[in-house]
Amino acid sequence: MKDISILEKKLNLKFKDENLLTQAFVHRSYLNENPDFHLHHNERLEFLGDAVLELVVTEDLYQNYPKKPEGELTNWRAALVNSKILSTIAQELKFGDFVLLSKGQSKEAGKARKYILANVFEAIIGAIYLDIGYDAAKQFIKKNLMKELPEIIEKGLYKDAKSRFQEGAQERTGITPSYRVLKEWGPDHAKHFVVGVFLKKKLIAKGEGSSKQEAEEAAAQNALETE
């Protein structure tokens, strides 16, 4: 792990207890291989940071968009605090250089890695809140996350994937997407589905989930990413 003071300077923060900031980067898997490490993993900080994040984003949207209804603000908030955006910002801030992982986990890439970075982002918010206070956590969130909102609104990223793919497909091809279950297995209480999204007879993408709705949403998201 790099010297944590490098990150403090980068974020323009000064912790009274640097262990708290370090703890935000400790993944559970690291402690499995290093049981004598002097800090706990970051999951409690992540739990706290998640709540602070939601409050700050909610407060910001409430104050800055007084004419917007609750439903629209809820969609905007969900788009802002999702793990994809949080992990992207964490990557931009080079948080990956500081994360403490097991050897096996450190080789993980793709969604698993992004999920870890999103959790670290929330854990850091929790650490800032505990050590420096709410205002510092608020400034961190406003500076690093709220800047994403104009693009989310402009590109309609707050809409669910099915709605966005349907709008795009109709605009480009005049065809309304259809969904079909390609595979399903498991007992009733633990079903698993693979769904395909089609434009007429052409399969555009597949998605998996524990319900048809979840699999359809995943298929639409995959279709958006392959455009």
SS (H, E, C) 180-218: EEEEEECCHHHCEEEEEEEECCEEEEEEEECCHHHHHHH
Say whether both 8 and 27 belong to one domain: yes
Q: What is the pLDDT of residue 50?
A: 96
Say whether both 34 and 144 belong to one domain: yes
Say whether both 63 and 147 belong to one domain: yes
Q: What is the pLDDT of residue 111?
A: 67
Structural domain boundaries, residue 189 = 161-226
Report, as an integer, the average pLDDT of 221-226: 88
Pair 63, 43: CB distance under 8 Å: no
Q: Which of 154, 182, 199 is the endpoint of a domain?
A: 154
Domain total of the chain = 2
**Rounded distance, CA 130 to CA 48, Å?**
9
Q: Please give the structure tokens belonging to residue 145.
A: 């996350």
Q: Which residues are catalytic?
A: 50, 122
* Other CB atoms within 10 Å distance of the CB of residue 207: 22
What's the pLDDT band for 109 if we cut at 50, 70, 90? Answer: low
Say whether both 106 and 191 belong to one domain: no
pTM of this prediction?
Answer: 0.75
Say whether both 115 and 169 belong to one domain: no
The one-letter amino acid at 122: E
For residue 154, pLDDT beyond 90: no
Tell me which of 99-103, 119-123, 207-211 is least confident: 99-103
Say whether both 32 and 141 belong to one domain: yes
Q: Tell me: the pLDDT tens digits for 137-148?
A: 999 999 999 999
Say whether both 150 and 53 belong to one domain: yes
Q: Which of 104, 129, 154 is the endpoint of a domain?
A: 154
For residue 106, pLDDT beyond 80: no
Q: What angle do CA 56, 86, 133 make, to 5 degrees?
A: 35
Say whether both 87 and 174 belong to one domain: no
For residue 69, how many C-alpha atoms fall within 13 Å in the half-sphere facing its CB? 2
Residue 156, helix vs strand vs coil: coil
**Rounded distance, CA 43 to CA 95, Å?**
16
Task: Give the DSSP per-residue string, 83-95.
Answer: HHHHHHHHHHTTG
**Rounded distance, CA 211 to CA 195, Å?**
10
Q: Which of 107, 135, 154 is the endpoint of a domain?
A: 154
The one-letter amino acid at 99: V
Say whether both 149 and 79 belong to one domain: yes
What CATH number did the domain enclosing 214 receive?
3.30.160.20
Q: Tell me: the pLDDT tens digits for 18-76?
A: 999 999 999 999 998 989 999 999 999 999 999 999 999 999 999 999 999 998 899 89
What CATH number did the domain enclosing 131 receive?
1.10.1520.10
* Other CB atoms within 10 Å distance of the CB of residue 226: 8
Say whether both 148 and 174 belong to one domain: no
Say whether both 143 and 35 belong to one domain: yes
Say whether both 170 and 148 belong to one domain: no
DSSP label of 107: T
